[in-house]
Amino acid sequence: MEAKKNRTLKPSIEKALADLIGSEERPKLEVILEDPVVADLHSKLGKLFSAETMAKVKDPLEAPVPAESAEPEGLHPELDVYKQEYDRMSDEAKGRCAWKTVAGRLLANNGEKLKKVQEMQGGGQLVGIDKNGKVLFKDKGVEPVIYGFDKEGRLMKIYDYDTEQVDQVETWADYHEIREQVLKDGYELFADDDNCEFSDEMRQVEAHTNEPFVASKDGGEWRSTWLESGYKPVTARSAFFIPHSDSYMDSVEIDEDRSNDRGENCGAARLLRV
């Protein structure tokens, strides 16, 4: 931060700050803040960090920790299930993002991200960490979320392939309608590697869950999930499960289909990056 021209510290403040070098003593905050330059800096820092974080800063030279990466205070049993998933990951994956950062992000802004995870199928599942340090949450289980319209034209989201809800569907949703709703709900579709092969995120899902990326619960029916293919494409990619394959873990393939295809076996495995 560049100081304005002709703005200097008071001699007493300069001496107090200089004394910090090679000394374990720290001047009192109220003394330091008497200087207008320091007070202005402290005010500007307050705009970058939460009020709660700034209130904990006892030393104006001690950099406050951003709210999302701060160590959460108190017990949060609602995080236990995700902590267990985190602990199961490899040391390499965990090295991309510490648990206290994950917890801080989930609890920030009154638990906004945590609520989004909990609203996913089965309460969501922590399945990996991407190369940018973002934690990956997916709808829990192998079943994709299925979308269809009832007789009143209302869009239905069907979790875990609930057969009673499936029977209420009059028209199944296509790629465009599903993608629009997924984005509207604050999630995203998984993507392939642009060559109809598994992306790193998709591979992490299978490695972490020891299950196919998408499948039917009983392993005996076709299922597929649309993959991110852009806005209003003529064809869209999907990952589909082939039942009764020779290898259960090698039973998912990626191909392109007409984006306006509709079917009861095709939905969306949703992704949330935190």
pLDDT digits (tens, 9 = 90+) for 41-87: 555 555 545 544 444 444 443 444 454 545 455 578 999 999 999 99
Q: Is the pLDDT of residue 213 over 50?
A: yes
Mean pLDDT within 5-14: 57
Share of the chain above pLDDT 90, in %: 69
The pLDDT tens digits of the residues spanning 117-174 come to 999 999 999 999 999 999 999 999 999 999 999 999 999 999 999 999 999 999 999 9
Confidence of residue 179 (pLDDT cuts 50, 70, 90): very high
DSSP notation for the chain: -PPPTT----HHHHHHHHHTTT------HHHHTTSHHHHHHHHHHHHHS-HHHHHT--STTSPPPPGGGSPPPS--GGGHHHHHHHHTS-HHHHTTS-HHHHHHHHHHHHHHHHHHHHTSGGG-EEEEE-TTSPEEEE-SSSSPEEEEE-TT--EEEESTT-HHHHTT-SEE--HHHHHHHHHHTT-EE----SSSS--HHHHHHHHHHSS-SS--TTS-S-EEEE----SS-SEEEEEEE-TT-S-GGG-EEEEEEETT---TTEEE-EEEE-
The pTM for the full model equals 0.73
